[in-house]
Amino acid sequence: MFDPKEIPELKAKIQERAREDFKILEELREDMRKIKHDVRVIKPRSATAVSLVASDGGNNSIVFDPFFLQLVRVVDSYGKKLFLDVITPTTDTDELSAAQFNEDGSPRTALGYMMKDIGVKPLTLNQLSHMIPTGKEIREKFSGVNTSWVQVYRDLCEWAVLYDRICNHQFATDTLIVRDGQLRSKLFRGEYFIRFRENIEKRIKEIYERDRRKVYLVGIAKRSKVISRYQLAMMLENVFPDGEPRYVRVPRDLEKKVYIWSEYARGAETTEGEAPKFVAGDMYLVRFGKRSGDPIWAVDILSSQTDQAQEILGYLLSDAIDGFPVPLYPRCLQKAHEHAQVVGFDLDILQDQIYGSVKEALKKEHKDHILEMTRLTLDVSARRYE
């Protein structure tokens, strides 16, 4: 603890440093003044809102040391299962790659379809993403492999389901597809994400020309560095005044000031320098509520649809007004989270299944040890709350 005599000195130093850094806040306020005149009011519209989301990694883990299973499950806001797999950090990724295709080479899963359609060659997960190890690396030195690749695989599955939904689905009405997270990714190797974006844009255009149905794609981030950095400046400059839901587009140069890696703010409009390998959307700051204290979200709109921002955000507003339990946040996304969660009784069933699978693999004289082991792994200390 601080000595009470040190508190005045610390207080004086903090105030001094704050005064010295006040110029940073002034710069941020100036940035907000530049975009303030571009703020627009959102008018609600009616459309079908569909959300695709993978359940959080923490809810997907089934652990019985030394066994660790990752449940990869993607569902939509209606609770429909769109992808299901179970992997471990030691899963042979060559075999996992092959499992995405039938014996004749045709795609067996949404991930296999995406890999083939964007031209991944050879058709392996390591070729799709540099963050996934080769099968050889897993087989020869699995203890030295970064286990986070299982989360990368899960995220790629979510991207693949979104891709498959747009490219192979018939739409009876105008539809807004909402992704949990921004329309940006560093998981794809080379220019595969560029092909991903271009193919989706092409398919959306074809759907409208053939069926006269509009399909929109947006991504909403739970957290945003842009909002974190500019939150105070937005409040001081009253960028979003009371009265109506509002939005404003974030210029790329402002994004670049926030992100450590400038390429994360290079969009499809880029004509010089390195190709925009990681970005498929344009960012908007959006407040669905009418009060200055209501939450502001970072929404990415597919770059080719940015001229339809008013229409798209109007559809999103209609869904966000009924947001529950998180107010003023798209209800379709929250429903997808509810369906995707693997908790409670479902998690208990899966946990028992791994116990049973391990027991089946053991010799007869060792099977009783599983029961004893499960008893020992119970949180005995939790009984004090019973």
CB count within 10 Å of CB 102 equals 11
Q: How confident is the model at residue 347 (pLDDT cuts 50, 70, 90)?
A: low
**Model-level pTM?**
0.84
- Residues 6 or more apart in contact with residue 289 via CB below 8 angstroms: 245, 295, 327, 328
Per-residue pLDDT, averaged over 260-284, amounts to: 77
Q: How confident is the model at residue 1 (pLDDT cuts 50, 70, 90)?
A: low
Q: How confident is the model at residue 367 (pLDDT cuts 50, 70, 90)?
A: low
Q: 57-100 pLDDT, tens per residue?
A: 334 555 554 456 778 889 898 888 899 898 888 899 999 999 99
Helix 368-376 vs helix 344-361: angle between axes, to the nearest 10 degrees?
140
Q: Which residue has the higher pLDDT, 373 or 324?
A: 324
Per-residue pLDDT, averaged over 323-343, amounts to: 86
Mean pLDDT, the chain, as a whole number? 84
List the beta bridge partners of residue 107.
101
Residues 173 and 213: beta-carbon distance below 8 Å: yes
* β 61-64/67-76 pair status: antiparallel
CA–CA dist 355, 45 (Å, integer): 50
List the beta bridge partners of residue 287.
246
Highest mean pLDDT among 10-14, 66-70, 364-368: 10-14
